[in-house]
Amino acid sequence: MGEQVADKFLKDSAVKSFDQRHREIINANIDKYNLAFERSKSKFFDLENSKKKANLIKWKTIENLERYLLDFESNFTKRGGQVIWANDAEEARQEISKIMERHQAQSVVKSKSMATEEIELNHFLAKQNIEIFENDFDMPLDPSAEQLAMKTGELLREKYTTVDIGISGANFIIADTGSIAITENDGNARLTTSFPKVHIALAGIEKIIPSLNDLDLFWPLLASHGTGQNLTAYNTILSGPRQEHDTDGPEEMYVILLDNGRTNVLEKNDQRQALYCICCETSLNVCPTYQNIAGQTYDTTYQTLINSLVPPNLNNVSELKHPAYASPLCGKGFEACAVGIDFLRLALLNRRDSVQQGLIPKAEKRAWKVFTYAVQRRGLIDFFSGKAKNFILQNFFKKTWGKHSKLPKLADKSFAKQWKEQNRE
């Protein structure tokens, strides 16, 4: 399975990398982001200090994850909310199905949520003949598409008042108030959580933060690093179902806390920092590989370069080891990350795990054994002339190097040979 995913990635990336229109769109969008990000980060008195503080808060939270999650559950249930713990994607889907059966729901409205994509909720509901309404449009590429998206959005808004259940994600889970925080730019999540009688929020357990006061730090970091804004347009805090004094909101509210492999990452001391991620995706915008490929090429829910670890290892390493090998290890992700995740180290550790688990193809293993044997024996390397080495490269490695890349030409004499000749004189 892992080799199939990697092969597909290589084929798709080879096409995308040299698609001129695709590259123009990526470059234009990244240029706009860079300008916006430069403006937004200037609003911070000391951005690096803010990132260090965010890193420290996430470290404290992840190191005490069970305690904060239980605090959230206690405070949320006090206001009439219900917390459901889901070990994996299937359990999360079944819990949502039970809620829908209990309320005899035939339709749902969904706001944009990577967690629901992670568990493939749309596919699951469609098989049960549940009507799904969404308004998760990507950025239109031309004016006509933009007008169509706006018209579809207007028609969809009428559905919010009639559907049975609203489903959303959560950007943050707040322990001390028993709340969830949702950040968006279109307002659809707010409609999703206000009109339907039942609201289901699905969130990974790593989304927890200790205090409501921490949003003062995390909201601006998420906005500036995610879209280059000072603050995202709509920021909503929800603390349970409708109370007596409330004018809107659901009659029942559920929060499903999703594990789905996250505790596997929690067990790894050297990779635990992957759980700090707030999904701002700034690492993508600065990554040279992503700037050339981007999009659905990664074939994963979370399109980050090392998405096998950030967000956490949601699938087997065998299925998602290829993004870590695509990483140029330039360190730009670490410099740009809003919460100071060491992307370079995580990519290297992901590669290490792939080797230790025997996930490297046999042909690649043999090639590295031959290379290791050769480089440890200078006499063997110097035995062949530069002409012979270039012949070997051109005839045996040209395909591996790629049809768009030119193989380097080796010197007629090795450095060691030239050094000896110069020192004799």
* pLDDT tens readout for residues 94-150: 999 999 999 999 889 998 888 998 899 999 999 988 888 886 544 443 444 455 555
Predicted local distance difference test score (pLDDT) of residue 57: 98
Residue-wise burial string across 7-25, b where 16 or more C-beta atoms lie within 10 A, e elsewhere: eebeebbeebbeeeebbee
Least confident of 122-131, 163-172, 366-375: 366-375
For 336-354, what is the mean pLDDT?
Answer: 87
The answer to whether the bond into 311 is cis (omega within 30° of 0) is yes
CA angle 354, 358, 363 (to 5 degrees): 100
Predicted local distance difference test score (pLDDT) of residue 152: 57
Closest to 72 measured CA to CA, from 198, 186, 176, 2: 176
Q: At residue 225, does pLDDT exceed 80? A: yes
Domain boundaries, the chain: 2-42+274-356, 47-260, 371-424
For 161-165, what is the mean pLDDT?
Answer: 84
Q: Please name the CATH architecture into which domain 47-260 falls.
A: 3-Layer(aba) Sandwich (3.40)
Predicted local distance difference test score (pLDDT) of residue 284: 78
Q: At residue 44, does pLDDT exceed 80? A: yes
Tokens of 76: 């949320």
> What's the count of helices (H) and strands (E) in the chain, helices before strands?
22, 10
For 187-199, what is the mean pLDDT?
Answer: 89
Predicted local distance difference test score (pLDDT) of residue 68: 98
For 199-226, what is the mean pLDDT?
Answer: 95
User: Band of the pLDDT at 5, cuts 50, 70, 90?
Assistant: low
Among 73-82, 148-157, 293-302, top mean pLDDT goes to: 73-82
| pTM for the full predicted model | 0.83
Sign of CA dihedral 247, 250, 253, 255: negative
User: Band of the pLDDT at 237, cuts 50, 70, 90?
Assistant: very high
Q: At residue 251, does pLDDT exceed 50? A: yes
Predicted local distance difference test score (pLDDT) of residue 61: 97
DSSP letter assigned to residue 135 = -
Q: At residue 156, does pLDDT exceed 90? A: no
Tokens of 104: 């005899």
Closest to 284 measured CA to CA, from 232, 325, 226: 226
User: Band of the pLDDT at 319, cuts 50, 70, 90?
Assistant: low
Predicted local distance difference test score (pLDDT) of residue 14: 72
Closest to 183 measured CA to CA, from 280, 253, 108, 92: 280
* DSSP-assigned beta bridge partners for residue 254: 82, 200
Least confident of 143-157, 171-185, 317-331: 143-157
Coil, strand or helix at 183: strand
Predicted local distance difference test score (pLDDT) of residue 414: 81
Alpha carbons 53 and 65: distance in angstroms, whole number: 18
**Contact call for residues 224 and 40 (beta carbons, < 8 A):** yes
Predicted local distance difference test score (pLDDT) of residue 137: 46
Average model confidence (pLDDT) for the chain? 83
For 288-315, what is the mean pLDDT?
Answer: 60
Tell me the percentage of the chain whose pLDDT exceeds 90.
Answer: 35
Predicted local distance difference test score (pLDDT) of residue 308: 52
CA angle 350, 285, 46 (to 5 degrees): 95
For 4-30, what is the mean pLDDT?
Answer: 75
* pLDDT tens readout for residues 45-57: 999 999 999 999 9
Coil, strand or helix at 352: helix
CA atoms within 13 A on the CB side of 159: 22
Tell me the percentage of the chain whose pLDDT exceeds 70.
Answer: 84
DSSP letter assigned to residue 287 = -
